[in-house]
Amino acid sequence: MQKKNGAVHDFKMDAVGVAAIGWCSKCGKSDFYEPKTIKHDESKCCNSILVPRKPPVEQKIQSGEIY
């Protein structure tokens, strides 16, 4: 059973009001999605669940720099 994303009204819209902004629950990247289908879409980067706010994501530190 696939989990559903947040409710459509939970996602912020872009400045023009055409696309919904969804965050990947796995890597934390944001992208624009069709508001009518965002509730069932998967993220474009990791094919993971979309969330309406940026999730906490582990930072990889190598040689003192954050990647």
**How does pLDDT run across 18-37, given as a tens digit for each residue?**
999 999 999 999 999 999 99
Q: What is the dihedral angle through the alpha carbons of 31, 36, 40, 45, rounded to the nearest 10 degrees?
A: -20
What's the confidence (pLDDT) of residue 19?
96
Q: Are 64 and 18 in contact (CB under 8 A)?
A: no
Exposure class string for 15-31: b at 16+ Cβ within 10 A, else e: eeeebbbbbbbeebebe
Task: List, for residues 30-59, the tens digit of each pLDDT value.
Answer: 999 999 999 899 999 999 999 999 988 765
Stated pTM of the model:
0.73
